[in-house]
Structure 1
């Protein structure tokens, strides 16, 4: 009638468990998939800037400088330093404040294709008067269909 609760051959002591030597990768995969989804959602939001239609030009591309400032001239003539709108009169002072009055800082000027040439040159002139000599214009490369039509 009586039943023994202890397994046979245990000697009455508690059985020790062996350490598990396998790594459970399921939580790791779950975390990585969540991070992938987060990055896929936020990546398009990180591309910021002032929306302009750049003119097309067949010119060699310059080396990219990640520390360079960008001055954008919109079609309505508004000036932006990076993403902040600034008046033309204070453009050089704002660039001085950001670069620490470093005349060797590179400044890129993006002008909309529909903006008058004089407005872009006024921005470049204000930078030149502020002591900045490393000013470059940003354009888009010509499309292959448009370039072939223009060559004929």
Structure 2
């Protein structure tokens, strides 16, 4: 805590008392420095946390859809391997594994489907069909934003 010394003009401060009066100001510079360092750390770390499975997404001009609850993320990489969140699913076990994410008696969460642009269209549609058969009715396709017209 800082202390304000008496003024050289006879020892009288603002209030007319002699001696030392406490300083009523808080130094916020160290707090601002810490907050700026934390901001930089989070700005650098956030993109690293968002990218789960590396997928080369196609471009689109569509706007992003708002989401109320946490979606289930299904990814298809360039080899056609399927991932739920970041867990690789063995071939043929996708239907059984995705059924585990359905709540008992509740509404199925929305699904975010990330598919590599080099994949066969039939492969993507087959995964969408398996999701639909499992009970997932809200399926969103993730794309990169683009300003190009088709």
Same fold judged by TM-score > 0.5?
Answer: yes
Q: Which runs of 5+ in 2 are unaligned?
A: 1-17
* 2:21 paired residue number: 18
Q: How far off its partner does 1:66 sit?
A: 4.8
Task: State the number of aligned residues.
Answer: 132
Shift in CA distance, 20/141, structure 1 to aligned 2, threshold 3 Å: closer
Shift in CA distance, 22/95, structure 1 to aligned 2, threshold 3 Å: same
SS where residue 118 of structure 1 aligns? helix
Which of the two has higher C-alpha Rg?
1
Correspondent of 1:73 among 72, 76, 88: 76
Output the TM-score relative to the length of structure 2: 0.69
Does the Cα contact within 8 Å between 2:69 and 2:109 map onto a contact in 1?
no
Output the TM-score relative to the length of structure 1: 0.68
Q: How far apart, in 1, do the equivalents of 2:61 and 2:27 lie? A: 55
**Structure with higher helix content:** 1
RMSD: 2.7
Q: Which runs of 4+ in 1 moved over 4 A?
A: 57-61
Does the Cα contact within 8 Å between 1:68 and 1:108 map onto a contact in 2?
yes
Q: Which runs of 5+ in 1 are unaligned?
A: 1-14
